[in-house]
Structure 1
Amino acid sequence: MEQLEQWRKLFDLGIEIQQVAPWKHLYDGDLIVLHLADHPVPIVVSVMGKNEECFGIAVYHTEKGQKALISMLSGMSTVVDPLSFPEATQEALIGYYNDRNELSEEEYALIKQLGYKFRGKKNWLSYTAFGIGKVARQFHPDEVSLMIECYEQLLPAFAALASGDLVAADLAGRNIHVVTSLKDNQPVVSVLPYNFEHLRPYEDIPFTNELLISKYKKKKFVDRTLEITAFYVPVVADEEHPESFACLLIGADEESEMLVFVDLMETDKELFDKVISAVGNFIDSYGRPRTIHVRLDPLVTCLWDFCSQLGISLEKEEDLIAIEEAVDDLPL
């Protein structure tokens, strides 16, 4: 019963937010930052609906989710590869305003259980939790509580924005900051411009197997460039991880545009071992490539120390042409 009351509170707040329609005033790249006392990192909020297609409030409550958001808005693929299944590319709690036919059976059942009688287009509320590499699902109880807390802080600011009464004091008093848009560099409201210094950089993983390093150093260099990336595919990892999508690790020779390795990972936690093993097998078979191109920061952290010890140049590269060509031929 208590959980249903929490859901009802969240739905009621969602209805109030819909009435002030913040998407009339904000673009999805105009980010709002909330500082909640009990949350470990500042929370980033994006308002969807300016294009009048998809309406909602997206709450990016984790560092990983915020890195993926910034990567997406800046047009750089540093966290999640764009080849990934779209559902697996973001980490956020999102409150949507849907049409009836867009609801799942579970979402519709919750609405009926709570006693709401929504009608019309974009008036049916639903709440979906996304995770990078994860299957989308309905909120857990702690996520319902977090979304309520965010909505309670956002609602007065949205109402002030709608009425034209938004001033610095209104936002600063609630620890809400409207950030300069990452899309066009134009501020929505000049209120304590916020940066993302709280986001910690990825840390390089040391490679400590001296026997393997000694073995690979005996291999000659070959004039070949490897392209490597990893992306999520629309296949559930396995019975033990039904909440996760499988991740495909793929490597291609830049000149020939031929695949040199493909490996399916059950979770991205296998990335370090899998990519080191794949590159090691390549070195055993052909020699040390002079250059490796990757576009994801997690791959840089896995390979940086390994490549440094072997004299291989590891470079960030957004356009992995060989991989793009090779993936087109895969039965995905």
Structure 2
Amino acid sequence: MPKETDYLKKLYPLALELQKIAPWNDIYERELFGIKVPGSEEPLFASVMGSTGEFLAVSFYEGVDAAHQFLRIQEDPVESDPMDVLLIPHLMVSFEQPQYMEPEDIDRLKALGYSVRKNSRLPVFKEVVPGCIHVLPETDKLAQLEPLIEQVINVASRVGRQEFAWIEHVPEGLNGLVRVPDGRAKSGWRDDNKKFELKPAPAIPPLSKKQVKPFNQLPRNNIVLQVGMVLVPSPIGDKHPPYFPFLLMLVEKESGYVLTPEMMTPHPNVKEMFAKSGERLIEFLTRQKVHPVEIEYRSARLQPVLEAAFKHTSVTLRKVQWMSAFDDAAESMINHMIGGR
């Protein structure tokens, strides 16, 4: 079985070829296209970053739902947090200066004979597990990166000479360009235009009347709360991969007062963390003896969670675009936790 080093020997030259082509000069970040790697159940979807010249990279979002989440962030940035991309499973090859690279990434390059110069940009391979710090992909994912990078080179080399139907949302789900293996084609691959149906997320069972009874027995407070989940950009390393803690924050809209935030972790996974957050919220409010008349939220991820948690209560849920009290409180809280000002 090939080892990590065997894959890296192939991937570094391929990544340097990609860097030379500079696809970020012609392709924008939201211009997704799919790549159906042999053996994978769903395509991975390539996104080229670097049109502004700041961060040069190509991400490969793993599957239709991951591509949908990414496009949703691009289409509605007001509703999304910049950190939301860390909640989407994806592989990445980035091109970074040595001062921003991890020591182990530099060691891998040097071990294979590459020079590491101060102002150079060198390839780094990453896997982003939702809610966790990036790590070097396991060998099965490294094996996928070879055809993925090859197909980005193929598409990038034809941009400007050929029009492409990039992946976009349609009523049924997603539709657009996918590179698929084809033994009859000279290159072994061909362009295809495919439609993908979005699978509905599993329904979150509502909390029972018995579970919310202690909350419902509290006297109602004439207050409106704003709720959200905040990623703390300070990873914790007691599990593998190291993960980012999350704060389930409640802020009083009028005063900006922060109720003590609940700390949550993305283990075993982010979806389960969000699914549990509704019950945690009810329990917290019950302990604090707070029964608001209304809760505002912005995140689409929280909508089904809140609806399930508060279905058998009198609390009004309201989806809003702007939560200034929450945003100010979250920024202050994060700066305090990571030593900012």
TM-score by length of 1: 0.79
Q: Is the 8 A contact 1:88 1:232 kept in 2?
A: no
Q: CA deviation at 1:75?
A: 3.2
Aligned-partner Cα distance in 2 for 1:289–1:6:
56
Paired with 1:26 and 1:155, the residues of 2 have a C-alpha distance of 12
Contact 1:249 1:275 in 2 (8 A): no
Cα 1:181/1:219, change in 2 over 3 Å: closer
**Structure 1: 5+ residue stretches without partners:** 169-176, 183-187
Matches of 1:145 and 1:299 in 2, distance apart? 35
For residues 113-192 of structure 1, the aligned pairs below 5 Å read: 113-117=111-115, 121-161=119-159, 164=161, 166=162, 178-179=166-167
Give the Å deviation of 1:145.
0.8
Kept after mapping to 1: 8 A contact 2:97/2:119: yes
Deviation at 1:250, TM superposition (A): 0.7
Shift of residue 61, structure 1, vs aligned partner: 1.5
In the other structure, the counterpart of 2:312 is 309
The alignment partner of 1:297 has SS state of coil
Per-residue deviation, residues 243-292 of structure 1 (Å, max 9, x unmatched): 11111111111122211231112334444444423334425655642321
Partner letter of residue 148 of structure 2? Answer: C
What does the per-residue CA deviation read over 1:99-144, in whole Å, with 9 as the maximum and x for residues that have no partner? 3333322111111222234668454221122233101222221121
Is the alpha carbon distance of 1:167 and 1:298 closer, same or farther for their aligned partners in structure 2, counting shifts above 3 Å? closer
Deviations 1:185-223 (A, max 9, x none): xxx99x87666x544344441134332334444445443
Query: Aligned partners of 1:145, 1:304: CA distance in 2, in Å?
Result: 42
> After the TM superposition, which of the residue ranges 199-208 and 105-114 deviates more from structure 2?
199-208
Residues 218 and 6 of structure 1, relative CA distance in 2, 3 Å threshold: same
Per the TM alignment, residue 37 of structure 1 is displaced from its structure 2 partner at its CA by 4.2
Question: Structure 1 vs Structure 2: percent identity of aligned residues?
Answer: 17
Inter-partner Cα distance in structure 2 for 1:106 and 1:305 = 44
Match of 2:298 in 1: 295
Question: Which residue is 1:58 aligned to?
Answer: 59
Residue 99 in 1 paired to residue 97 in 2?
yes
CA contact 2:215–2:285 (8 Å) conserved in 1:
no
Residue 49 of structure 2 corresponds to 48
Q: Which amino acid aligns with 2:248?
A: L
> Cα distance 1:23–1:245, how it changes in 2: closer, same or farther (>3 A)?
same
Tell me which residue corresponds to 1:210. Answer: 209
Please give the TM-score of this superposition, normalised by the length of structure 2: 0.77
Please say if residues 295 and 316 of structure 2, whose CA atoms lie closer than 8 Å, have aligned partners that are also in contact.
yes
Give the 5 Å matches for 1:241-320.
243-267=242-266, 268=270, 269-283=272-286, 286=289, 288-320=291-323
The number of equivalent residue pairs is: 312
Equivalent pair of 1:58/1:95 in contact (CA under 8 Å): yes
The whole-number CA distance in structure 2 between the counterparts of 1:99 and 1:229 is 35
d(CA) in 1 for partners of 2:312, 2:60: 41
* Distance in 1 of aligned mates of 2:166 and 2:85: 27
For the 8 Å contact 1:223–1:289, the answer to whether it is kept is yes
Work out the CA distance in 1 between the residues paired with 2:28 and 2:205: 41
Alignment pair present for 1:74 and 2:75: yes
CA contact (8 A) 1:99 1:120 kept: yes
Structure 2 Cα separation of the partners of residues 52 and 210 of structure 1: 54
Q: Please, which runs of 5 or more residues in structure 2 have no aligned partner?
A: 171-175, 178-190
User: Aligned partner of 1:210: which letter?
Assistant: K
